[in-house]
Amino acid sequence: EDYHERCVQCSEVNWGLTDGGRFYCRTCHNVIERTREVVNTDVISNTRVQTISKGLRKQEKTDEGWEWYVCEGFQFVLKKQAEALEALGICPQMKDEILCNFWRRYLQKSQQAYCNRPAGEAIKVLSGCDSSTDVDSEPERPSLLHLLSFSESDGDLLTDCSFGSSIGKVSESTSVCSGSVDGSLHLMKNQKDKLRMSMPMTLSFCYMALLWLREPMTLSDLLRFVVEGHIPYLNVFQCFPEKMKLYGLDLKIFCVESWPVYEEVYDKMLQLAAFLELPRFPDITDSCFLHPDMLCMKYLMEANLPDELHNWTCRVVKKIHIGEADFLTFAPGNKSTRKVKYDVLAAAVIVVVLKLLFLLDDHCEWLLSDFAEERNKNNKEDGPYFEFKKWCKIIKSSLDVEQKKLDEERAKYLWRCEKPLFYSAKKKSKVLKRRQIVVNLQNQFGKLSGSVQPAEKPNPSSFQLNWSEENTDGSCFHGHSLKGILQEKCGLLTAMNPDYWLCTVKLCTEKLCGHLAHYRDLDFPQSYHFVLRLFSFLLRIQPSYIHEEVCMIEHKLFNKKLYKKPKYSPGQRK
């Protein structure tokens, strides 16, 4: 309270004290050289005790940084990801309340904090590095679990845990194999009852928090924002404080050299929720963004399909009861309920509706399209009828351009981090100078070869493909009518096409398989494959995942016809 100087990095006056007595900025986590002398009146009156003076001198001399645990590194990553999500419009409650509580519960369940640490744990760390202990040397360092906590009011996560005192018993030679204290132990963990933390699991934590709050962001949106660089994930370790030395085995833990995969992140989220023994999540009602009716509206707009299709998607959702809260709400403890992938489910509903109306057998949809085209030529007074053939042509052109752009960006991505890693002050100037030479050479060769400088990062958007009805070229189909393919029957509009073909007659029940159905594009009509390809691009997942969800919806929709005793030999066409 007596120190009112501004921080040299962020200009804020918001100082806190580390465990060692040094001042650090709570806003930007900058640690300065100033220390505080603590008066201890419990032992001898009028005696001033200098804290960590011996430890600090030793640390500055060796310059080996703080001793830190792997869980502290992951907490720093989660904090950065939560701040990025908050900047994208997610409510602040996610970081300070939901995600922070999930993380604390994980630390306790995995016995990394808020618990009695097993006595032999520190010895295991040392044996993993094949180094000797040095009990006498006790260098102190700031508690990163406090310094990097989610909110400034957080206390030290180690206050209720007995292993905080073991920091001083760890020899400095542990950094031979990793910068962290327990890097080797983390990679050696193989307990079935404990989920080992990983970089994909940080995204599972974030998605679980988003799902708890019912935020308008699906898992596919989250992963797309990661790939676009709006959420820290790739090379996020270069944002670690300089004193958190990262090398050796730490790079295997925090260095990511692949894009996050939808299935992996989703499966880890399911395992994580079960491991934490979380209760039933808040209900997904028809007013929530994750409800199929809401998501179908979004994907219909992005896929440039007629607005009238939304009435049909709502009818399908209501018919097979997949819009009810009990079906949609995530209940980790209930193993009998099917876990819902909200974005995949909505895309599959749209595919089923397109099959109901256009059949998508490479024949019927073209006949209906020719009829609509002929009608639009002869009657220009009323609104245009939807032409499937024209829609395919426009979507394919736009999709090819976007897919090529995405493939080029991924091919050009530099997996090597921009910030060079150095492990001592002696090597810092040499590494920085070498890095600067490399950058200068790259710029010079770039100018000589005439290569285009990388464009600035685009602003985040919920839509990847945008269509405007104001375009005069007729490329927007939102307002087009479905009258050309519908007929009125018993007061209801029904499809002129009376047929429907099933993707599979019988769902796969093999537990080892893990999939309800299998997909090979050569086994299905090209129109069906094209529609799957469109939605697989929008969701950045494999077409087989959408196909599997389509099969599930079809078997719910035609359940009575599928499982009643047939009077004739069953076929695929219904």
Q: Which two tokens stand for residue 445?
A: 């060769």
Q: Is 227 helix (H, G, I), strand (E, B) or coil?
A: helix
Q: Taking a C-beta distance cutoff of 8 angstroms, is the pair 503, 524 a contact?
A: yes
Q: How far apart, in whole angstroms, are the C-alpha atoms of residue 147 and residue 24?
A: 8
Sheet holding 22-25, edge to edge: 15-17, 22-25, 31-35
Q: Cα separation of 121 and 279, whole Å?
A: 31
With b meaning 16 or more CB within 10 Å and e meaning fewer, what string describes 174-194? bbebbbbbbbbbbbeeeeeee
| Residue 538 structure tokens | 């929008």
What is the secondary structure of 151-184 as a DSSP string? STT---TTTT-GGGGGGGGS-GGGGGTBSSTTHH
Tens place of pLDDT per residue across the chain (574 aa): 677 788 877 778 888 887 667 788 887 777 787 776 544 444 434 433 333 333 343 444 445 567 888 999 999 999 999 999 999 999 989 998 999 999 999 999 988 888 775 433 443 433 333 433 333 333 344 444 443 445 543 433 443 333 333 333 333 434 446 678 888 888 886 655 568 899 999 999 999 999 999 999 999 999 999 999 999 998 888 888 878 877 778 888 898 888 999 999 999 999 999 999 999 999 999 999 999 999 999 999 999 999 999 999 999 999 999 999 999 999 998 877 888 999 999 999 999 999 999 999 999 999 999 999 998 888 777 789 999 999 999 999 999 999 999 998 888 777 777 766 665 556 667 777 777 787 777 777 777 766 655 556 678 888 888 887 666 666 899 999 998 888 877 777 888 888 899 888 877 766 656 677 878 888 899 999 999 999 999 999 999 999 999 999 999 998 766 655 444 444 444 4
Domain ranges of the chain: 1-36, 68-112+195-279
Strand 15-17 and strand 31-35: the pairing is: unpaired
Q: How many CB atoms lie within 10 A of CB 440?
A: 10
Both tokens of 114, joined, read: 């808020």
Chain Cα centroid distance, residue 482: 37
**Burial grade of 17 (CB within 10 A; 0-12, 13-18, 19 or more):** middle
As given in the structure block, the two tokens for residue 270 are 């399911």
User: Which residue has 């999500």 as its token pair?
Assistant: 85
Q: Which of 100, 72, 73 is nearest to 86 (CA)?
A: 100
Supply the pTM of this predicted model: 0.77
Q: Which residues of 258-295 are buried (b: 16+ CB within 10 A; e: fewer)?
A: eebebeebbebbeebbebbebeebeebeeebebbbbbb
| 3-class secondary-structure state, position 420 | coil
Distance CA 162, CA 154 (A): 19
Partners of residue 16 on adjacent β-strands? 24
Kindly state the greatest CA–CA separation across the chain.
103
First-to-last C-alpha distance (Å) of the chain: 78
